[in-house]
Amino acid sequence: MNSILNSRYFFWLILAIPSIPMTLLLSRGVAPVPDKSVYEFLLHPTGEFAGRFMIVAMMLTPLRMLMPRVKFWSWMIQRRRYLGVAAFLYALAHTVFYIVDRATLDAMFGELGSLGIWTGWVAFFIFVPLAITSNDYSVRKLGPGWKRLQQWVYLAAVATLLHWMFVHNEFGPALVHFTPLALLETYRIISNARKRSQRMTLGEK
């Protein structure tokens, strides 16, 4: 049983579960609501799961700091890259559905000046190199630069939050998802600052 639970294929299966009803709906080619194409209908769930998986991946370090004795968080951190790649794949599907639904470059460029749209593109283009380098080879090749590159996820998170809030001017769902991350990141920053202060105090002694 442990071998199944620790299998990366099992973890990937879990990450793929939200895509199953989306794929079935796409195969039928008809949205369950009137006046919407199936591509427009799928924009919402693909975007939400891209954001959710990114948020979960970012929450893992502060959660382990907050609950160091809970082994589950260490287990999850070992699989954090999978979460990041899954976030990118859902974001890729979100972007493809947007392009297909808009159908023309004129339609897309006409919306590009909107805060809710260009922030989504910023988040997506940041996701691309992060996903491409989410492998052991890139970690070895880039060395310390790999971690610096991955820190761009914070900018992607801000862009994703703005995209989510302003694409339809609905702030509630975005804040519900991002508030726990913001609280945990605040805790992480304060905790690290206290540790640095303690080390400096001990060094002075």
pLDDT digits (tens, 9 = 90+) for 72-126: 999 999 999 999 999 999 999 999 999 999 888 888 888 888 999 999 999 999 9
Listed in sequence order, the residues at least 6 apart from 114 whose beta carbon sits closer than 8 Å to its beta carbon are: 166, 167
Distance CA 147, CA 94 (A): 26
CATH number, residue 171: 1.20.120
Angle between helices 172-204 and 38-66 in degrees, nearest 10: 30
pLDDT digits (tens, 9 = 90+) for 30-75: 888 888 899 999 999 999 999 999 999 999 999 999 998 999 999 9
Residues for the chain: how many in total?
205
Average pLDDT over residues 12-38: 91
Residue 29: exposed, middle, or buried by beta-carbon count in 10 A (0-12, 13-18, 19+)?
A: exposed
pLDDT digits (tens, 9 = 90+) for 151-174: 999 999 999 999 999 998 889 999
- Residue the block writes with tokens 């895509």: 19
C-alpha angle 36/27/98, rounded to 5°? 45
pTM score: 0.91
Asked if pLDDT for residue 205 goes beyond 60, the answer is no
C-alpha angle 190/195/199, rounded to 5°? 145
Cα–Cα separations (whole angstroms), residue 132 to 37, 81, 85, 120, 126: 31, 11, 8, 19, 11
What is the count of structural domains for the chain? 1
Domain that holds residue 124: 2-204
Q: Can you count the helices (H) and strands (E) in the chain?
A: 12, 0
First to last CA, the chain: 52
